[in-house]
Structure 1
Amino acid sequence: MKSSFSYKDIYIEDGQRVLEINILPEKHCNFDCVFCPIGRSKNKVDMPTSFEESNSSIEELGEMIDSTQPDLVFINSKGEALVNDKVDEIIDFIKSKGVRVRLLSNGYILSKDEYINIVNKCDEVVGEIKVITEEDFKKVQRPIEGYTLATYIENMVSFNKQYDGKFIFEVTIIKKYNADDESVEKLKNIITRINPDKLEIVRIDDEKMRKTMWVDDERFEEIKNILYK
């Protein structure tokens, strides 16, 4: 049985068994970030996209859930999972098995009508931010033409206002882009506006990027102390 999904081994997080799944056969994203560990985006999209093998992939997912008995399925894909035109069906299927769903989205399209109702079905949603100036947003996240950082943030703000589930906001601290005092203050304001249920502060951990983008332990702890307050 051919499948377009891929999986990570079950792991334990906060006492829960988590099954992590990628529902994209290759990278499809509305960004083309220079620091993406997956590599370049050949497929720069923000609209629903059809993939082959979807039915057999969902059948395989059912078998994976039955054999691994997870408490949570984490949809964490090669790019923006929401562009898979079967994502609605996939979420419904997981929920029909009595399993909770977490979805990772970069957050830009969370306010689009065609996605809001789909994402609202998830028990947990992860949005993220990596840079805090329009210039850097265009230069290093290389979004679809016409995207702005201001709209990106606003989309997550408006989505979370109407969302009943758990909104997790992941902030990646990157040397030279958002690790200085002024940037950290801006990040703090953005966090306040989005008002997430959970905040996660992380660093770039891809080996190739560490030389130029890694923030040292001391500074990272300082930033975490400021943002977690």
Structure 2
Amino acid sequence: MGGFSYKDIYIEDGKRVLEVNILPEKHCNFDCIFCPIGRSYNKVDTPQSFDEIDNSLIELESMIENNKVELVFINSKGEALVNNKIGDIIDLIKSKGIPVRLLSNGYILGRDKYIQIANKCAEVIGEIKAISEEDFQKIQRPIEGYTLEEYISNMILFNKQYKGKFILEVTIIKCYNDTEESINKIKNVINKLSPDKIIIGRINDERFMKKLGISDKRLYEISKVLLNI
């Protein structure tokens, strides 16, 4: 089973963006309780091989050339870095003179082989959701042995040497990281990580909003604090 999937071309900051998923099904190192894609039946953090990669690369090249693409956003079903051909995928895009934005949850960005791959990208997005070890294990359900401390340290290590634009996505979750204490912890992480851009979001999936979603007012209050660091 293989093949990429795409979202419709959209305009962002005046650029034509092609958003591509390079995983045929969900492969992730987490199994978050609120994941819109569903459960992680393939919980992995090592390179995986997928069929039809040659045909997928030809299709991607065609999509770029036929749609006057100015930025390719690799946003996949899970952790895109585990596709063992991701380096080739990024090289193909860059050979067309197109910059790459990569979404990773950020946990494995501290490993040399993934650092080298992510360094090829003009923009890398990492994520923070849970901000205590107990909540990290409870709601993100990572691969056994993962810790929140290592998660944060890996992103800090990566960004210290990264020459591109590092973007941190912070998802605020009701009853887990929306208290003043939690916001202060997130502030400390942001200060240590020094991202180039911060995006504050919340749970928007209707299946989880009632239990985990925060109000517009609370999102505004938290955003005001975190975006003014």
The one-letter code matched in structure 2 to 1:58 is L
Q: Verify the 8 A CA contact 2:49 2:83 in the aligned structure 1.
A: yes
- Match in the other structure for 1:63: 62
Report the RMSD for the aligned CA atoms in angstroms: 0.9
Look up the SS of the partner of 2:127 in the other structure: strand
- Match in the other structure for 2:30: 31
Q: Distance in 2 between matches of 1:220 and 1:162?
A: 32
- Match in the other structure for 1:54: 53
Look up the SS of the partner of 1:209 in the other structure: helix
- Match in the other structure for 2:186: 187
- Using the TM superposition, give the Cα deviation of residue 16 of structure 1 relative to its aligned residue in structure 2, in angstroms: 1.2
The one-letter code matched in structure 2 to 1:224 is S
Q: Distance in 2 between matches of 1:179 and 1:42?
A: 29
- Match in the other structure for 1:152: 151
Q: Verify the 8 A CA contact 2:32 2:141 in the aligned structure 1.
A: yes
- Match in the other structure for 1:170: 169
Runs of 4 or more above 3 Å deviation: none
- Match in the other structure for 1:127: 126
- Using the TM superposition, give the Cα deviation of residue 147 of structure 1 relative to its aligned residue in structure 2, in angstroms: 0.1
Q: Distance in 2 between matches of 1:185 and 1:3?
A: 43
- Match in the other structure for 1:220: 219
1:113 and 2:112 matched: yes
The one-letter code matched in structure 1 to 2:39 is R
Identity %: 65
TM-score (norm 2): 0.98
The one-letter code matched in structure 2 to 1:21 is V
> How many pairs were matched up?
228
Q: Distance in 1 between matches of 2:3 and 2:133?
A: 35
- Using the TM superposition, give the Cα deviation of residue 15 of structure 1 relative to its aligned residue in structure 2, in angstroms: 1.2
- Using the TM superposition, give the Cα deviation of residue 3 of structure 1 relative to its aligned residue in structure 2, in angstroms: 5.7
- Match in the other structure for 2:5: 6
Q: Verify the 8 A CA contact 1:3 1:56 in the aligned structure 2.
A: no
CA distances 1:97-131 after superposition (whole Å, capped 9, x unpaired): 11110000000000101111111000000000101
Q: Verify the 8 A CA contact 2:2 2:50 in the aligned structure 1.
A: no
- Match in the other structure for 2:40: 41
Q: Distance in 2 between matches of 1:5 and 1:14?
A: 25
- Match in the other structure for 1:90: 89
Q: Verify the 8 A CA contact 1:174 1:203 in the aligned structure 2.
A: yes
Q: Verify the 8 A CA contact 2:167 2:198 in the aligned structure 1.
A: yes
Q: Verify the 8 A CA contact 2:2 2:23 in the aligned structure 1.
A: no
Alignment of 1:130-145 (within 5 A): 130-145=129-144
Q: Distance in 1 between matches of 2:7 and 2:116?
A: 27
The one-letter code matched in structure 1 to 2:128 is I
Deviates more, 1:214-223 or 1:72-81: 214-223
CA distances 1:38-73 after superposition (whole Å, capped 9, x unpaired): 000010000000000000000000000011111100
- Match in the other structure for 1:80: 79
Look up the SS of the partner of 1:44 in the other structure: coil
- Match in the other structure for 2:18: 19
- Match in the other structure for 2:197: 198
Unaligned runs of 5+ in 2: none
The one-letter code matched in structure 2 to 1:185 is N
CA distances 1:136-159 after superposition (whole Å, capped 9, x unpaired): 111110000000000000000010
Unaligned runs of 5+ in 1: none
